[in-house]
Amino acid sequence: MRKLTEQDIQNITGSTIAGYCIEAARIKRGPCTDSDHYGFILGRNARNHYVTWHFHLLDDDSVSVYWGHYFMEDRDAAVRDFNTR
């Protein structure tokens, strides 16, 4: 795992992961020395269901998502979760 960059965030935003179009991504930032190796994603699928995921990049720069919170059609709740995680 490597440190995430703003270019990584730009590359992820607008892509599709597991059927979800990525609307936003951000670097975690925090007090731990490796916080900048992790981030959060906000995605929407074709049924307008929303998810926020924790993620990191694998050695081949592919995105590994986990620890999802799912919000069905409640975009406002998903955005709040994305901003506060």
Task: Provide the pLDDT confidence category of residue 21 given band limits of 50, 70 and 90.
Answer: very high
Compute the average pLDDT of residues 66-78.
Answer: 96
Residue 85 lies in a domain: no
Which structural domain range is residue 60 located in? 6-79
Asked if the model's pLDDT at residue 36 lies above 80, the reply is no
Give CA–CA dist 19/31, Å, rounded.
32
Alpha-carbon span 2 to 57, nearest angstrom: 7
Tell me if 61 is assigned to some domain: yes
- Is residue 44 very low, low, confident or very high in pLDDT (cuts 50, 70, 90)? very high
Q: Would strands 20-27 and 39-44 be described as parallel, antiparallel, or unpaired?
A: antiparallel
Number of domains observed in the structure of the chain: 1
Residue 84 included in any domain: no
Confidence at 16, pLDDT banded by 50, 70, 90: very high
| Beta carbons of 57 and 1 less than 8 angstroms apart | yes
Whole-structure pTM value: 0.91
